[in-house]
Structure 1
Amino acid sequence: MSSFRPYALSAGVLLAATSLINTSYAEQTPNGLTLEEVVVTAQKKTESLQDAPISLIAFNSEKLEKLGISDVGDIQSAVPNLSTAPHPTNRNSLTAFIRGVGNADLQVTKDPAVGVYLDGVYLGRAAGLSADIADLEAIEVLRGPQGTLYGRNTTGGAISIRSALPNEEFSLKQKLSKGNRGYWRTTTQANLPVTDTFMLRAAYSRSAEDGWVENTGDGKDFGEQQKQAIRLAARWLVSDDLSLDYAFDQSEINGGQLAYQITRVTNANAAGFTAFARESRQSTLSVNNLENSSDDVGGHSLTATWLVNDDLTIKSITAYRELDEFAYQDYSASAHHFSGGTFPSLVASGAEILDTRTNKVQDQFSQEIQFLGSFADGKVDYVGGLYYFKEDGSEDQLASLNLLALGGFPQIAEEYYEIDASAESLAAFSQLEYTPEVLEQRLHLTLGLRYTSDKRDATKYDNLYDNQNGATVSGDQTSSKFTPSFTIGYDISDDVNAYAKIATAYRAGGFNTRGTETRFAQGFDPEELLAYEIGSKAELFNRRVRINLAAFWYEYTDLQVDQSDPVNIIATDTFNAGEATMSGAEMDLTALITRDLQLNVSYGYLNANYDSFIQYGQEVSQSKNVPSAPQHSYNVSLDYSRPISIGELSAAVNYSWEDEYFFSTQGIARKDDVGLLGATLGVSAIAIGKSELSVQLWGRNLENKTYAAHEIDWAASGFVTTIFGEQRSFGVDLTLSF
C-alpha cells in the first residue's frame, strides 16, 4: 500500500487545482460552446461518461468512422494501456492486454483475461475478432478488472461493442471504400419501421485486400483476405412496458496468413539460417504452399426489457453463438524464399521450419437476468442479477516439426493432438450505489458483490513423433470465488468528481492444449487480482475542457504463466508460477479549442514487474518480462469541422505512440517503440436531391514506419521470426444516405 500513496497525493493536488480552475474561469468562457455529452453503458445502465467511476474510453459511430475502425483490432492505437497483436497461428484471432494483463496464447481450454462483449453477450473465444462488424454504434474500453457486473470474471478489463438498434425512422446508407493494395469495402445499412411498434434493421459488409507481402510460391499473398459480415435486428415494442430485441450476426474471413520472416540469429544452433535472416521488412517472400485460413463466427441473441415500475426494470439476455475456424501457418517464408525452395524435398510437409494446421470449433449458450432500479426514495441505485454460461469446444492441430526432420530425427517429426473441452459458469452479482442525505448528496458509496462458480473439463489425445510418446489424458477443474468491490465517489462541484476504488477479480483455471500429457491432465488453478484505483473526472472552462484521470496499483497472485517445454519446441505448459505488481496511470483530455477545432489527448503509463516467477522449480523472475506492457503510450488527435457552401468540411490528424514491449515472458521477441500518423479529409452532408453524399480521404501509417506486429523467439533453436505491421495505406470513402 505504501507505493499507492504518491498517486493519492498527486491526484488530490490535481483535484484541488482543477476545482479551483473551474471556479475561477467559469465566467470567462463564451456561452453556448460546450463539449457534447458522452453516454456510456459500462455499468449496465445508460449514464454520462463523467458519472462512471471507471477508467473508460468510448467511441461513438462518428468517431469510429473518422478513425477507420471496423473491428476490435483497429482500436489499439486509440487506447493507451491497451495492446493487441495477431495470434501466431491465426491473424484473425487477437491477443489483448489491458494494463499488462492478458493472454499471449488463445485456446479453447483457457478463459481470456480481457472480456469482449457484443451487445451485452460475452464472446467466449477470441477467434475472428479481426472480422468486420456490419453495424457498429459504439465501442467502450474498460480498463481494470471487471469482477462484478460483467458476464465473466475478467482480470484485465472489458471491451464492449454495441450495434445500432432498430428505430422508428426510415434510413438507408450505402458506403463504398477504395484504397491501395487492392483494398475495397462496401457496407449497406437499412432501417425499416414496419409499424409504430415493430422495426427492422439490416446491415451487410464485404471487403477484400491484397495483403502487403507478395508470395511468389503457391497460394495467396501473405495477408491477402476477404471478409463479409451481416447483421439482422428486429425490435418489437410489445407494450409501453415491454420490449423485445432480436439480433442475428455472422462474420466470415478467408485468406492467407501474415508472413513470419527470420530477422535475427541468436546462437550457433541456427547458423545454417544466417544467410536467410533479414532485419528489414521484406516485400516479397514465399512458402511452398500457403493454404487458406478461414473463420466463421455468428450467433443469435434475444433481449427482453420489462419496465415493472418507476423503480424496477427487469432485463433478460439470452444468446447462442458458434465459431468454426481453420488456420494454416507456415513459419518458413525466409528459409524457403532465400534458399530457392531447396529443402521441401527433405521434409514431408514442404515447410523448412514449422507449419501448423489448426481446427477449432466452439458453441456457447448464455443467459443473464438483470434487475435495475432504485429504492429508499432514490437514495440507492442498484443492479443485480444471475448469469449462466456454457460452452463446448474442440481443437486439433497437426504440427510438422521440420527443424527436427532436417536434423536427421529418426522418426516422422510431427505432432498431432485433439482436444475436447467444456466449461460451465454460474454467477450471482449485485452493485448498490448509496447517496446519503449528508454533504448535500455529493457523497456516493458503491458496493459490488459477485459469487462465481466455474467448472471445466477437457480430454487430450496426443500423437507425438509418430506416437513415440502418444497418450490420451483427461482432467477437470472446479473453482469458485467471491469477488467484492467498493467505491467511494465525491462530487467536488457540479463538474468535478473524484473516486477511490478497491476491487477483486479472478480468472478460472483450465488446461494448456499445447502442454505435455502429464501437465495437461493436472491443469492449472485460478489466478487472482487485487486492484486499487483512484481517479477524477472534470469538465472545466464552462465544459469546453474534459479531463479524466486515473491511477492504479495491482497485486497479482497465482499468475497463470506459459513456459516452453525444454524438449519439444512447440510445447508449452501453464503454471500458477507468478506474482506481479503493476502500477500506472491514465489521462484522457478533450478540449474544444474553438467552435471548429477539438483536441483529444490520451496517455497511459505502466510499470509492470514480476515479484516471483517459478520455472520448473527455479526462481527466475529477474530474467522474465511482463508481456505486452509498454511503459508509455499515448494518442493525440485534432478534429476540425465547419460548415461550407456545399456541406460540412472536416479534417482530422491523429498520432499514436507506444513504447517498446516484449511479446512473451521469455526471450528477446519484442515490439520496438513506434509512432504512427494518420489523417482524414472530407466533406459531408452534400445535398443530392433528398439524399446526402459524404466524401472522405483517409491515410494510415502515413510515414510508412516499419514495426513488428508480432515476434517469436525460438529460444534454443537460435533465431527470431517477425511479422511486420502494415505499410502506408490510403484511400477514399463515399457514403450516400437516404
Structure 2
Amino acid sequence: MVASRTAFKLSLSGAALAAALATSPAMAQDGQQTAQTQTGLGTIVVTAQRREENVQEIPIAISAFNQAELENRGVSDALDLAQYVPNLVGLNNTGLGSANSYFLRGIGNTETIATFDPPIGTYVDDVYISRQNANNLSLFDVERVEVLRGPQGTLFGRNTTGGAISIVLAEPGDEYAGYAEVGYGSYDSWLGRASVDIPIADTFALKVSGFVERDDGYVQNVTTGQRNNDSNAWGARLGWRGELSDTVRWTGSFMHIESDGENQLNFDCNPANPTDCDGRFSTTGLIEGARLTNGPLIGLLTGEKQFFGMANRTENNMITSNLEIGDRDLLVNVITGYIDLRQRFALDFADGRGLPSISSPVPPVQGYAAGGFTIANDGAHEQFTQEVKLTGNLADGLIDFVAGVYYFREWNTTDFGDIFTLGIAPGGFPLLLADRVLINNAEAWAGYVQADFNVTDALTLTAGVRYTDEEKDITFIDNRSSIGNGLCIGPNQFGPSQCLINSNLIASNGAQIPTEQSVDVWTPRFAISYQVNPDFMLFASATRGFKSGGWNARGTSPGTLLPFDPEFAWSYEAGFRSEWFDRRLRLNVTGYILDVSGLQTPSALINPNTGAIDFITRNFADYENVGLEIEINAQPVPGFNIFAAIGYQDDEYNIPSNAPALDAFGVQSVGAQQASCLAQLASGLTAGGRDPDGPGPAPSDQATACANGIVTADGSIAEPVRTPDWTVSFGASYEAVLGNSGITLTPSVNAVYRSDQEVGTSNVNIFDAGFTSPGGVDYQGNLAGNGNFVIGSFSEAHWIVNSSLTLRGEDDNWALTLECNNCFDEEYIQSSLANYSYLNRPRTWMVRGRITF
C-alpha cells in the first residue's frame, strides 16, 4: 500500500513541480532593505536545529517567515500563518477564538482540556507552550516564525508528533527607535500597536511594546440582540538584551496578554428567518457578558463559573529567559520559561436549541436562556520549563553538536460544568450533566544529543536521540452536593457510584481506571545531506516522535473518564533545497511518508438516550500519510516578489487486524465496532436517529455502532479529518517607486486553496430527503447522501483571496495600508461538533497608518 501510493505521488511530482515553477513563488527573506535596493533573495537564518544555520543547508522540512514577509502576506496572528504552509490546516477551536488547532500532515487535535496535549508544539523563544487554550498569538513583535513539518522528537521539548511552530521575538536594538500604528476596519474594529527600543547602556537595551484591538463582533444574535464573536484583546511586552561580557549574553522578555474572543456557532442565514442571508446569525439565549449578577447558570452550577455570561476570556503571563555563555566552539544556553494562564468561558455549543439529527435536521429555534448545550469553564494553568543546551564543534569542525537536558512541570486546575437543556417545558428545562473540578499535573525530564558529522565538505551525516521520562496524574472532585440520596461532597468523597470522584473511576467492565500514567521513550533521528554545489543540496531523514497519553476528562460519568495511550510516529523524508539564477529563484521540495501508531482521536457524538453530546477519545487506529511539499520564492527583478507553497497528501487509517474485540476497559476495537455496525445495518437498523421528543430510550431501530468514532454511518472507516488532498497558496507583490518622490506603492495579493476535506471524526453529514426506516420510524433527513446537504462535517473545496495596498514614505518613516482578508467573502466549514457546522470568518477589511522613528 505504501509503495503504490508513494509511486503514485512521485508520478505527480513532475507535474506539480512544473506548475509551481510556472507560478514562480516565494518564501521569507530577512533584512530590512527594500525590494528595490535588494538584488536576489536574502539569506534565511533559522534555529530549527537549535543553532543558527542557513535554512538552505539543513535537512529539515521547514517554512520560515520574517516580520516583513508576515506583513506582506497580511499575517497578524498565528492562525493566519497556516494559510501559507503546505499540508497545514489551521482553525479556531469550536467556541474558542483564542485557541488554535493545527493539523499538519494529518496530525492534530481540537481538544483544549488539560489532559490532552497538542501534537503541533508552539514555542516562543524556545519555550514550549503546553496549552493551546490561548495560542492564537498576535505576531506584531516578532523577528521570524519557523514552521517545522513532521515529528521533532529529538531537539524540541514535548509532544511534537506533527511538527512545531517556533516564534522568535524581536530583540531590542542598539539605537533608540520604534513605531506606532493605528487601524480601523470592518465591524467597527480598531487596533493600536507600538514598540520602542531603549538603549540603557552600550551593553544593555530594552524593548517596550504593546497592542490593543477591539471590534463589535461579526455575528448578530437575533435572540438577545447582542453582537457575538467579537475579538477584544490587549497585551504588553518588556524585552531585554544584555551583552554582559564578550562571552556572556542575556536575553528575555515578560509578556502579559488578555483576550476575549469567541468562535460561537453561527450561520450564514438567519435560523429564525431563513430568507435573511445578509450576514452571520446566532440564536442562543445565553447572554454575553463577563460576570452576570443574575443569569440562567446561577444555582445550576457552583463556584465563580455560575456567574459567567457567554464569553471566552484568557489572561496569560509569560516569562522567557536565555542566558548564553561561551563562544562558537562551545556555547551554553540556560533557557527558562514560566507561564501562568487563566481561562474563563461559558459557551453554547447548540445555539440555544437541540442538536441536529436525521429526526430533526434543522432543530427549531428555541433561544434557551441557558443555551442548548453549554459548558462553563474556570481554568488555571501553570507551567515551568528549564533547559540547559550546549552547542559547539569538535575535531576542528569535523563534528557539530547540540546536546542538553530539559525539565518540564505543569499544574492544572479546571472547574467546569455541562448543561443540556431539555425541550420538555416552556423555555426549556436545564439539566445539569456534570459539575466537577479536574486537577491534573505533569512532570517530565529529558536528555538529548544530536551530532552532524561533516565527512567531507559536501557530505554530512546526522544522528541524534532524545530520552524522555514523563509522569502524569489526575484527581476529580464532584461539585454537586448530592446525586439521588447520596452525598458527593464530603471529606472522603465516598458518594454514590455516579459521583465524579477518583474512587468511582471504574470502567463498564469493572476495570479500575488509573489515575496515574508514566512513559519513558527514546526518540532518535537520522539524516544525510549532500551539497551538490553551493546552491543545491539533497537530503534524506528518518525521525521518531511521540505524544504522551491522557484521559477523556470531558466524560460526564465516572466510567467514561477513560485513559488513552501515547501515540508514536516515524517520519521518512527526502528532498532537495536549491537556488537558481543568481539567487533570484529558491525552490525547496520534500517528499515524506508518515507512519503513526496509536493515533489519538477525539470524537463527539449525540447520546441517543439524552440527546446531549458525549465526548470520547481513544487510540482508534494507526495512521499513514504520504505526501509531497513544494515551496518556491522568486524575485525576477528588484521589487517584484512572488511565492507559492503546494502540498499534496494521501492518507488513511489503518485498523490493526489482530486487535482484541474489547480492550482492557471494555471498549470495542474499531474492527469489532465496524463489524457490529455492518451487522446492525444488515438487520434493518438505522444510523443517526434519535427520539425528536427529547430524553428517553433510543429509537428501537437505531444502529448504535454506526456514525460513532471513526466508523461512518454506512459502516466504512471514516476519512481522516482536515487532510485535504491539496493545499495551495500563491501570491505576488511589487514595490513601485512613484516618480522621483521616493514614495513607493506596493500592491500585494495572494490566494489560498484547500480541496475537499472532512472535519468531523465520524464524517456525519445530514441531507434533507426524508424516509421511513425498515422499523417503521419516519425520519425527516438521512445520512446516506440523498437530497440536499443540510449540515455536517463535509467542507467543500474553496479559495480564499487576501490583498493589500501600501503607500510608503521615502525613508520608510511612514506607511498607509488598505487590506482585506477573505476579500470575496468565501464561506466554508472549518469544523463540526455534534453535527453542527462551524464556519470560517467572513470578509474583513482595515485601513492602517504607521509611523516609524
TM-score (structure 1 length as normaliser): 0.88
Quote the Cα distance in structure 1 between the aligned partners of 2:529 and 2:135. Answer: 35
2:467 is the alignment partner of 1:451:
yes
Q: How far apart, CA to CA, are the structure 2 residues paired with 1:134 and 1:12? A: 36
Offset at 1:670?
2.9
Correspondence for 2:655 among 612, 619, 638: 612
Paired residue for 1:178?
184
**How far is the alpha carbon of 1:404 from its aligned partner?**
6.8
Q: Residues 233-248 of structure 1 correspond to what in structure 2 (within 5 A)?
A: 233-248=239-254
User: CA offsets, 1:404-431, max 9 Å, x none?
Assistant: 7569999944322321000011110111
| Structure 1 residues 178-222: Cα deviation after superposition (integer angstroms, max 9, x where no partner) | 112111110010001111001010101001112211124447411
CA change 1:410–1:136 in 2 (3 A) is: closer
Query: Is the 2:381–2:413 contact (alpha carbons within 8 Å) kept by the matching residues of 1?
Result: yes
CA contact (8 A) 1:216 1:285 kept: yes
**Residue 465 of structure 1: how far off its partner (Å):** 12
**Which amino acid counterpart does residue 561 of structure 1 have in structure 2?**
T
Paired residue for 2:398? Answer: 379
* Cα contact 1:179–1:731 (8 A) shared by 2: yes
- Equivalent pair of 1:450/1:484 in contact (CA under 8 Å): yes
- Is residue 4–residue 553 contact of structure 1 (8 Å, CA) maintained in 2? no
Q: 1:449 to 1:561 in 2, by over 3 A?
A: same
Give the equivalent residue in structure 2 for 1:735: 850
Contact 1:133 1:229 in 2 (8 A): no
**CA offsets per residue over residues 167-188 of structure 1, 9 Å max, x none?**
2121020011111211111001
Query: Over residues 244-290 of structure 1, what are the superposed CA-to-partner deviations in whole Å (9 max), with x where a residue is unaligned?
Result: 113101111125543344999xxxxxxxxx98889968534332213
Q: Which residue of 2 aligns with 1:97?
A: 103
Match of 1:188 in 2: 194
2: CA distance, partners of 1:536 / 1:686: 39
Question: Which letter maps to 1:624?
Answer: A
Q: Work out whether residues 411 and 466 of structure 1, in 8 Å CA contact, stay in contact via their aligned partners in 2.
A: no
1:325, CA displacement in angstroms?
A: 0.4
What is the CA distance between 1:7 and its match in structure 2? 8.0
Q: Aligned to 1:585, what secondary structure does the other structure show?
A: strand
Structure 1 residue 722 corresponds to structure 2 residue 742:
no
CA contact (8 A) 2:736 2:745 kept: yes
2:624 to 561, 571, 581: 581
1:554 corresponds, among 584, 589, 594, to 594
Query: Partners of 1:665 and 1:407 in 2: how far apart?
Result: 34
Structure 2 CA distance for aligned equivalents of residues 12 and 78 of structure 1: 19
SS of alignment partner, residue 483 of structure 1 = strand
1:149 deviation in Å? 0.5
Whether 1:510 and 2:561 are equivalent positions in the alignment is no
- Per the alignment, residue 680 of structure 1 pairs with 804
Superposed displacement of residue 343, structure 1? 6.1
Query: Do structure 1's residue 123 and structure 2's residue 141 form an aligned pair?
Result: no
CA contact (8 A) 1:525 1:576 kept: yes
| Residue number in structure 2 paired with 1:633 | 727
The residue identity in structure 2 corresponding to 1:735 is R
Corresponding residue for 2:339? Answer: 321
Does residue 658 of the first structure (1) align with residue 676 of the second (2)? no
Whether the 8 Å contact between 1:362 and 1:392 is mirrored in structure 2 is yes
TM-superposed deviation, 1:703: 1.2
**Is the CA contact (8 Å cut-off) linking 1:547 and 1:590 kept in structure 2?**
yes
Secondary structure of the residue aligned to 1:43 is: coil
Change (3 A) 1:575 1:339: closer
Q: Distance in 1 between matches of 2:329 and 2:13?
A: 36
Q: Is residue 47 from structure 1 mapped to residue 47 from structure 2 by the alignment?
A: no
**1:530 CA drift (Å):** 1.2
Q: CA deviation at 1:517?
A: 4.9
AA partner of residue 500 (structure 2): A
Code of the residue aligned with 2:745 in structure 1: it is: L
For residue 75 of structure 1, report the CA deviation from its aligned partner.
1.0
SS in 1 for 2:552: coil
Paired residue secondary structure (1:593): strand
Check conservation: 2:471, 2:519, Cα contact below 8 A: yes
1:71-150 matches, cutoff 5 A: 71-150=77-156
CA distance in 2, matches of 1:52, 1:62: 23
Give distance in 2, aligned partners of 1:258 and 1:12.
40
Superposition map of 1:159-308 within 5 A: 159-218=165-224, 220-261=226-267, 282-288=279-285, 289-290=287-288, 291-307=310-326
From 416, 422, 425, give the equivalent of 1:397: 416
Mapped pair 1:524 → 2:564: yes
Distance in structure 2 (CA, Å) of the matches to 1:114 and 1:328 = 26
CA distance in 2, matches of 1:410, 1:694: 56
Map of 2:373 onto structure 1: 354
> In the aligned structure 2, how far is the partner of 1:172 from the partner of 1:411?
53
Task: Name the CA distance, whole Å, in 1 between partners of 2:530 and 2:188.
Answer: 53
SS in 2 for 1:377: coil
Q: How far apart are residue 723 of structure 1 and its match?
A: 2.6
The CA deviation string for residues 283-311 of structure 1, in whole angstroms up to 9 with x for no partner, is: 3433221323201112112210001x441
Q: Which structure has greater helix proportion?
A: 1
Q: Please state how far the C-alpha of 1:340 moved relative to its aligned partner.
A: 9.8
Q: Is 1:471 the equivalent of 2:500? A: yes
What is the rounded CA distance, in whole Å, between the counterparts of 2:668 and 2:554 in structure 1?
17
Letter in 2 for 1:397: F
| Inter-partner Cα distance in structure 2 for 1:341 and 1:574 | 31
Aligned partners of 1:202, 1:185: CA distance in 2, in Å?
17
CA deviation digits over 1:559-616, x for unaligned, max 9?
Answer: 2223447566423232223111111110001122222312101001111110117872
Greater fraction strand: 1
AA paired with 1:680?
Answer: S
Structure 1 letter corresponding to 2:567? E
Is the contact made by 1:261 and 1:278 (CA closer than 8 Å) also made in structure 2?
no
Displacement of 1:125 in angstroms is 0.2
8 Å contact 1:200–1:235 — kept in the other structure?
yes
User: Contact 1:329/1:356 (CA < 8 Å) preserved in 2?
Assistant: yes
Q: Decide whether the 8 Å contact of 2:499 with 2:558 is kept in 1.
A: no
Structure 1 position 693 matched with structure 2 position 814: yes
Range with bigger deviation, 616-625 or 412-421: 616-625
Taking a change above 3 Å as real, the CA distance of residues 592 and 412 of structure 1, as seen in their structure-2 partners, is closer
Is this contact kept in 1: 2:176–2:198, CA < 8 A?
Answer: yes
In the alignment, which residue of structure 2 is the partner of 1:602?
645
> Secondary structure at the residue paired with 1:423?
strand
Structure 1, unmatched stretches of 5+, are 18-30, 265-273, 715-719
Judged with a 3 Å threshold, the aligned counterparts in structure 2 of structure 1 residues 3 and 404 are, in CA distance, closer, same or farther, namely farther
* C-alpha spacing 1:153/1:319, structure 2 compared with 1 (3 Å): same
| 8 Å Cα contact 1:399/1:416 also seen in 2 | yes
What is the CA–CA distance in structure 1 between the aligned matches of 2:60 and 2:450, rounded to whole Å?
Answer: 14
Distance, in Å, in 2 between the alignment partners of 1:321 and 1:436 is 42
Give 1:11 deviation, angstroms.
11
- What's the counterpart of residue 21 of structure 1? none
- Counterpart of 1:333? 351
Question: Distance in 2 between the 1:659 and 1:12 partners?
Answer: 18
On the 8 A contact 1:260/1:332 being kept in 2, the answer is no
Contact 1:475 1:521 survives alignment (8 Å): no
Length, aligned pairs only: 699
Q: Give the deviation of 1:722 after TM superposition.
A: 2.5
SS of 2:515 mapped into structure 1: strand
User: Is 2:2 aligned against 1:6?
Assistant: no
